[in-house]
Chain A
Amino acid sequence: MKRRSFLKKSSLATAAISVPFILPSGRLFAASGMRMSDHVVLVAFAGGVRQQESILQRYLDDSQSYPSAGNILYNLFDGSPPTDKIVYGTKNIIDGDTPIPKILSQSLESQGTTFREINASAVGHYAGVNAMLTGNYMYTQGLRNKPMMPTIFEYLRRHQGEKATKTWFIGNGIGNSIPLLDYSTHAEYGASYGANFLAPIITFGSDGEKHLKNAKVYHPEDELDPMYKMKYFLDNVWYSQGKALPNIGNTEEEKAEIKSFVKDMFDKTAAGTIAHPPVSDNGDLRTIGYACEVMKRFKPTLTVVYLSNVDGCHSNFTSYLESLHRADHGVGHIWDYIQNNIPAMANNTTMMVVPEHGRNLDSNNIVDGNAFTGYDHSDANSRRIFSSIIGPGIDSNLSIGNQNNTVGDIVNLTPTIAEILGCKTDVVNSGLLASNKSLFDLI
């Protein structure tokens, strides 16, 4: 009897010692690594960007057989802008004749590390961003389905215990299945570790003005509290039937904060005080303005900003150049805004800029108003992209790879973000990545 009692007590004590404390987020023990910074901003410089007009600074030289080369992304890269046939700026006399002034005194290239030639692998918008956020190639799933592998948002929330409002995915629209990328369908991760998605130019655009702006603000104690009590009773009754709804797990406080944010954004939009870049004449730049507001309000650990106006390149090369130039302007604004307007994130943020894929070597037959031909994305040239990384602990003025030496793959981005935020070991140990190497491992 004594022996049995001893065994019972000792086994209970052993279990108490060996069973780790499980946080509500599902995280066990402490973070597995040191953080390089507490915040990461990933700008998906997306829509399909050719190396030739971006990092190679060829402007019209390689695309339209017109001898004018130069750098139109001068917040990102060092290099002189073109001097002939300027079509990408704002309008002074004719459309695009005035380049947008540079925001940053030093380019991101000179302040950080540039991977000049990376393999994009996928050449579709959704597949590209999916690969970027999951660290996996999208070989076996449909375009209109949620990712099958966990996103970096889910890794971060599960393994770092981040709250839902600490991970944001801000898109410039709801097309291309982009809203589906906030979380995956993976059984061990999924909705409860998802990010807050926002497509601000719709939420705060004409549709939102009409159907969201005049929302009633209920009193938190007198109205919302009893309303939620009744709802939770109904949900509990329903839950007994076993049918649950996906829920990204914003707490009541977080939901209240998001609703308050939405209301404030409508007020700021009406007052014209949104943190837009100096020039904000397209959807990408307006999206960036609201992304800055999200960062200022919530100080997210991970913010992904999805741009895609350059996709107009299929049929309008001029608008592609305009959008590229504006995306560079927007990236400069984000970095400048974080350093000067969000003290909690200044000097404590790593920013990564990367297209989801490139564009073809040869043009299609669609001609725009400047007689420029458009470019699709389907050939080997479409698999060529670059990446710029800037932030604490990132080598400055370091250039990796070149046209003849591809270093890195788009699936290395997820482990790179995990490494910056101190959870690479957890993410790698999930065994779900296509590559366990971060971009830093390839330097």
Chain B
Amino acid sequence: MPTFKYFILFFIFLFLFSVSSCKKEDVIYDINQLQSSSYNANKNKLKSVGQYISIVYANLFQKALSSNELVEITRCIESIGDKQVAHEIVLSNFMNRQDVIIPSDSMMRADLDLFLEETYKRFFVRNITEAEREFFLNFLNSNPHVSCEMVYMSFALSNEYQFY
């Protein structure tokens, strides 16, 4: 019996030793954590014509596109081979409507930083990078006639907006 008792004690000791010996502290180098993948790398699916039109319509009019109109606009886009030309015509047609909801130019100019941040979130569903902010601030400040509509058109026609 004493032999059995020592045997049990030996196994308890071995178990405690193996558990306690595996602990290792994570090394912390006191630097900021950075995401190794790019900021928009998760957008890897191309929107279908229907998806693109539905999303851009909801974006510009803050309401859903009717199914009839979705079919009609999709047919229009499919009827023109150069999709950028087709999108441009459809979008400029949207911009010609009275009920399109876009900020006024004065509101845009009042706080360009805020406008850019909101535009990036509105169209690209991500934060603006500092390089992008730098470009747009310079561009908009040096081109005072550029309107909010023109900025929205460039975002809606951009390649990134074609992906999700």
Contact = CB atoms under 8 A, between A and B. Distances in A.
A238 B38 CA distance: 11
B99 interface: no
Contacts of A200: 79
Given A174-B75, A179-B78, A203-B79, A211 B158 contact: no
Contact of A196 (B41, B82, B89): B82
A226 B135 CA distance: 13
A231 B157 contact: yes
Contact of A215 (B83, B92, B162): B92
Contacts of A198: 79-81
Interface string B76-111: 101111111100111011011000000000000000
A235 B40 CA distance: 13
A285 interface: no
Interface string A284-315: 00000000000000000000000000000000
Interface in A162-214: 164, 169, 174, 179, 182, 194-200, 202-203, 207-208, 210-214
Contact of B96 (A197, A214, A235, A246): A214
Chain A residues touching B, range: 35 or more
Contacts of B33: none
Contact of B151 (A230, A239, A248): A230
A348 interface: no
A31 interface: no
Given A212-B76, A227-B150, A235-B158, A255 B93 contact: no
Q: Is the interface of B mostly helix, strand, loop or mixed?
A: helix
B155 A241 contact: no
A95 B85 CA distance: 41
B55 interface: no
B159 interface: yes
Contacts of B143: 226
Contacts of A223: 150
Interface residues of B, number: 45
Contacts of B43: 241, 243
Nearest to B123: A234
B154 A227 contact: yes
B89 A215 contact: yes
A199 B92 contact: no
A199 B145 contact: no
B85 A216 contact: no
A294 B73 CA distance: 22
B158 A231 contact: yes
A215 B135 CA distance: 29
A234 B92 contact: no
Contact of A234 (B41, B145, B158): B158
B146 interface: yes
Interface string A15-48: 0000000000000000000000000000000000
Given A179-B78, A218-B92, 16 more contacts: A169-B81, A174-B78, A196-B81, A197-B80, A203-B79, A208-B79, A215-B89, A230-B146, A230-B150, A230-B154, A234-B159, A238-B159, A241-B41, A243-B43, A243-B163, A255-B85
24 contacts: A179-B81, A197-B80, A198-B81, A199-B80, A200-B79, A202-B78, A207-B79, A211-B73, A211-B76, A211-B93, A215-B88, A215-B90, A216-B93, A230-B136, A230-B154, A235-B160, A237-B131, A238-B160, A241-B40, A241-B43, A243-B159, A245-B162, A248-B82, A258-B85
Interface of A: 164, 169, 174, 179, 182, 194-200, 202-203, 207-208, 210-218, 222-223, 226-231, 233-235, 237-241, 243-248, 250, 255, 258-259, 262
